[in-house]
Amino acid sequence: MIVATTREELAKARQDLSGRVAVVPTMGALHAGHVSLLKAARSGADHVIMTLFVNPLQFGPNEDLATYPRTWARDLAIAEAEGVDVIFAPAEAEMYPNGAPAVRIDPGPLGGILEGASRPGFFHGVLTVVLKLLHLTRPDAAFFGEKDYQQLTLVRAMVRDLDLGVDIVGVPTVREPDGLALSSRNTYLSAEQRVTALALSRALAAAAAVGGQGAAAARAAAGEVFEGTPGASLDYVVVTDPDLGPAPEQGPARMLIAARVGTTRLIDNAALRL
Ligand SMILES: Nc1ncnc2c1ncn2[C@@H]1O[C@H](COP(=O)(O)OP(=O)(O)OP(=O)(O)O)[C@@H](O)[C@H]1O
Ligand SMILES: CC(C)(CO)[C@@H](O)C(=O)[O-]
Ligand code: BAL
The residue-averaged pLDDT of 62-89 equals 97
- Please indicate whether residue 34 is annotated as part of the active site: yes
Mean confidence (pLDDT) of the chain: 95
Residue 273 is predicted with a pLDDT of: 87
**Strand partners of residue 256:** 238, 269
Which ligand is in closest contact with the Cα of 186? 1
Question: What DSSP string describes 49-109?
Answer: EEEE---GGGS-TTSSTTTS---HHHHHHHHHHTT-SEEE---HHHH-TTSS-SS-----G
Residue 212 is predicted with a pLDDT of: 85
pLDDT in tens, 233-260: 999 999 986 555 555 555 678 999 999 9
Pocket test for ligand 3, best of 34, 151, 182, 260 (most atoms within 8 A of CB): 151
DSSP tag of 180? P
Which ligand is in closest contact with the Cα of 57? 2
Residue 249 is predicted with a pLDDT of: 56
The residue-averaged pLDDT of 54-69 equals 96
For 51-81, b/e burial (b = at least 16 CB within 10 A) is: bbbbbbbbbeeeeeeeebbeeeeebbebbee
Tell me which residue has its CA closest to atom 4 in ligand 2. Answer: 126
Asked if 78 and 35 count as a contact pair (C-beta separation under 8 A), the reply is: yes
Give the containing element (helix H, strand E) for 257.
Answer: strand 254-261
Distance 247 CA to ligand 2 centre (A): 22
Whether pLDDT at 114 is above 60: yes
Residue 15 is predicted with a pLDDT of: 98
Is the Cβ atom of 37 under 6 angstroms away from ligand 1?
yes
Whether pLDDT at 24 is above 70: yes
Residue 250 is predicted with a pLDDT of: 57
Is the Cβ atom of 153 under 6 angstroms away from ligand 3?
no
Distance 126 CA to ligand 2 centre (A): 6
ipTM: 0.98
- Tell me the binding residues: 27-34, 58, 145-148, 151, 174, 182-185
Which ligand is in closest contact with the Cα of 126? 2
Whether pLDDT at 211 is above 90: no
Whether pLDDT at 4 is above 90: yes
What is the identity of the amino acid at 204? L
Cβ within 8 Å of residue 150, ≥6 positions away: 110, 114, 115, 116, 123, 248, 256
